[in-house]
Copies of this chain bind each other. A is one copy, B any other.
Amino acid sequence: MTDLPFAFTLSLPEWAVTELAAMPEFTATAEQRMRLVLELARRNALEDTGGPFAAAVFEHDSGQLVAVGVNRVMPTSCSSAHAEVMALSLAQHRLQVYDLGGPGQPVFELVVNWRPCAMCFGAVLWSGIRRLTIAGSGPELENLTGFDEGPMPRQWRAELARRGIVVTEGVLRREAIDLFRWFGASGRTVYNARQG
């Protein structure tokens, strides 16, 4: 068979070109980092370039921004193109490492506007990232937007801790929920598998 696909490319939306150029290289606090992520998530949904989810990888101590990701499932025809996978993969691509927790590296932090879904929970584990900062983890995301987040291991916090991943929860929680509420009320497409 000669028409089997050999490669695929995942990219950020076109609006991100100017957005990224305008981003600060350093941010000091968890709130500042989450605000940046929330703005990306809001913009992504508003422009219809993916779901209302964004993520970013920072050097935790210096606050340097390494990579950002937004949900790109529908525009790229790729169900794995969640914000976390985009941000982690772009950070690894930039640094040319598959392990963001490898020897000699600074502490990297993934900032996301809610708890990762079942798939992205695994992606966080395998990325080597040492810190995960989330706006919240409750049922609000699913209830307000209709997105299916999938079955999580019951002890997900303990599983992260066991692997040395430090979780910070509740950063700009209210703002994150406001975004989900707006998205849910906007009538935009919820792309869960099996639309048919």
Residues of A at the B interface (CB closer than 8 Å) are 1-12, 16-17, 20-21, 23-25, 65-68, 73-74, 76-80, 85, 88-105, 117-123, 125-128, 148, 150-156, 159, 163-164, 191-196
Checking B5, B11, B76, B102 against A90 with a beta-carbon cut-off of 8 angstroms, the contacting residue is: B5
On whether the beta carbons of B127 and A117 are closer than 8 Å, the reply is no
Checking B17, B96, B154 against A77 with a beta-carbon cut-off of 8 angstroms, the contacting residue is: B96
Query: Max chain B CB contacts within 10 Å: which of A78, A105, A163, A191?
Result: A78
On whether the beta carbons of B122 and A4 are closer than 8 Å, the reply is no
* Interchain CA distance A182-B64 in the complex, whole Å: 43
Nearest-neighbor residue (CB-CB) of A64 within chain B: B1
Nearest-neighbor residue (CB-CB) of A73 within chain B: B98
On whether the beta carbons of A23 and B9 are closer than 8 Å, the reply is no
On whether the beta carbons of B5 and A94 are closer than 8 Å, the reply is yes
* Interchain CA distance A153-B120 in the complex, whole Å: 14
Checking B76, B102, B121, B164 against A195 with a beta-carbon cut-off of 8 angstroms, the contacting residue is: B102
Nearest-neighbor residue (CB-CB) of A68 within chain B: B4
* Interchain CA distance A126-B23 in the complex, whole Å: 31
